[in-house]
C-alpha cells in the first residue's frame, strides 16, 4: 500500500512514489465514511475491528520488532467472545470496576451510536 508509513523512502520504491503523485488512491477519513454509512454500528465495528486490523496485519514490518505483545486479532460482529479476556478480580463490587467482554463493549458501542 502506498500509504504505509513504514514503506517510505528506499523501502517503498518508485512505484509507491508514482502512486501518490498520480492520485490513483482515493482515501476517505473515518468520519466521512461513517456519515456515508449512516453511522451503522455493525459496519463501523467491521471496519475498525476487522477490516482495519486485517490490513494492519499485512504490514509485517510493523509487528516484527514487537516481541512484548502479540498482533491484534480481527473481530467479527457475529462472533464476539462473551467472556472477558482477562481475569476478573474477585472483590469487584462496583459496576464500573467490572471487566467487560468484547460482546459487552460492542453492545455499549451500539447503544452510544444509536
Verdict on whether the full-model pTM lies above 0.85: no
More confident residue, 98 or 102: 102
What does the alpha-carbon distance between residue 69 and residue 55 come to, in Å, rounded to a whole number? 18
Res. 69: pLDDT tops 90 = no
The half-sphere exposure of 93 on its side-chain side, counting CA atoms within 13 A, is: 1
pLDDT tens digits, 14-41: 544 555 554 566 788 889 999 999 999 9
Res. 47: pLDDT tops 70 = yes
The model's confidence at residue 45, banded by pLDDT at 50, 70 and 90, is very high
CB 62 within 8 A of CB 56: yes
Amino acid at each position: 500500500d502506498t500509504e504505509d508509513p513504514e514503506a517510505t523512502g528506499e523501502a517503498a520504491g518508485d512505484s509507491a512514489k508514482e502512486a501518490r503523485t498520480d492520485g490513483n488512491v482515493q482515501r476517505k477519513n473515518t468520519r466521512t465514511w461513517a456519515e456515508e454509512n449512516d453511522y451503522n454500528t455493525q459496519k463501523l465495528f467491521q471496519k475498525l475491528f476487522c477490516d482495519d486490523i486485517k490490513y494492519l496485519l499485512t504490514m509485517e514490518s510493523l509487528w516484527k520488532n514487537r516481541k512484548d505483545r502479540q498482533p491484534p486479532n480481527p473481530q467479527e460482529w457475529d462472533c464476539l467472545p462473551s467472556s472477558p479476556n482477562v481475569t476478573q478480580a474477585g472483590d469487584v463490587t462496583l459496576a464500573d470496576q467490572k471487566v467487560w467482554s468484547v460482546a459487552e463493549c460492542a453492545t455499549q458501542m451500539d447503544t452510544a451510536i444509536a
